[in-house]
Amino acid sequence: MVTAIRRLNVLEYVILGVAMALALLAGGLVALVVGSATGVPFRLTWTLSSLLFFVVPGWIALRRERRAEREREGVPGTADAAPTEDDAEKRDDGGR
């Protein structure tokens, strides 16, 4: 069990490293395109866009995980709460 946990921890770091590398690559491509089109400095654009490519998806994933954790714990107002008539109507018409 300890070996499996250790391997999963290593896998998490590998996935995080790959995500950072992809964010840097995407940020560089965006900086190249924006810099050539507008003349904005490459380093500044690269830094800001790389941060956005890394932080925004991470924040979204963290929010989803926290929401799922609350639902598993049965916090009121989540999936374990009894559905109301409004909820049933939203499901019937696609939430519109």
84 or 19, greater pLDDT: 19
Percent of the chain with pLDDT over 90: 62
At residue 43 the predicted structure's pLDDT band, cuts being 50, 70 and 90, is very high
Q: Is 62 a member of any domain?
A: yes
What is the predicted pLDDT for the residue at 59?
Answer: 92
Angle between helices 42-73 and 2-38 (to 10 degrees): 140
Q: How many CB atoms lie within 10 A of CB 27?
A: 20
Q: What CA–CA distance (Å, rounded) separates 10 from 5?
A: 9
Q: Is 49 a member of any domain?
A: yes
* Encoded tokens for 14: 């590998």
What is the predicted pLDDT for the residue at 72?
Answer: 87
* Encoded tokens for 2: 């300890």
Q: Is 95 a member of any domain?
A: no
Q: Does the pTM exceed 0.75?
A: no
Domain total of the chain: 1
Query: What domain range is 26 assigned to?
Result: 2-72
In tens, the pLDDT along 45-89 reads 999 999 999 999 989 988 999 999 998 888 665 555 555 555 555
Task: Let me know: does 42 contact 23? Beta carbons within 8 Å.
Answer: no
Q: Is 85 a member of any domain?
A: no
What is the predicted pLDDT for the residue at 73?
Answer: 86
